[in-house]
Amino acid sequence: MGRRNRQRGAELQRLSVNLAKDFNLDAHNRDRGGACHPLGDVLIDGNYYGCKMRKAIPSYLLPEKEEIGVVVRADRIKPVIVIDLERYLLMLKLLKEIKNGDESID
């Protein structure tokens, strides 16, 4: 993998961690050397996430019309959903606040 590809991947990891921190979530960049961490690239509130940077995303993975996300599934694989990262982080924040009993939901 070339240097620029590693840089782009690192940029996405930093963006993900910084966005999560903006939502008051505990977030850390775990992959500091190029695929060194076996569990995932970033750690957000105790869960690992991979970060994949590509020049283009297949259009069938992107929401269209008024959809907020796209559910995709392959044969013999559980369904997954593609949604906006900020929307997902907001959901994590709200779940964390409900779990902690916080009544100050922004």
Which pLDDT band, with edges at 50, 70 and 90, does 13 fall under?
very high
Q: What is the mean pLDDT of residues 11-39?
A: 85
CA-to-CA separations, 60 to 17, 64, 72, 73, 85, in angstroms, rounded: 26, 9, 9, 12, 17
| pLDDT of 95 higher than 70 | yes
Of residues 4 and 73, more confidently modeled: 73
- Residue 89 clears pLDDT 60, i.e. is over it: yes
Average model confidence (pLDDT) across the chain:
87
B/e letters for 45-84, b = 16+ CB within 10 Å, e = fewer, are: eeeebebeeeeeeeeeeeeeeeeeeeeeeeeeeeeeeeee
pTM of the entire predicted model: 0.80
Rg (CA), the chain: 16
Q: Are 17 and 28 in contact (CB under 8 A)?
A: yes
Q: Give the bridge partners for 80, in sequence order.
A: 72
Tokens of 15: 């963006």
Among 37, 25, 32, residue whose Cα is nearest residue 10: 32
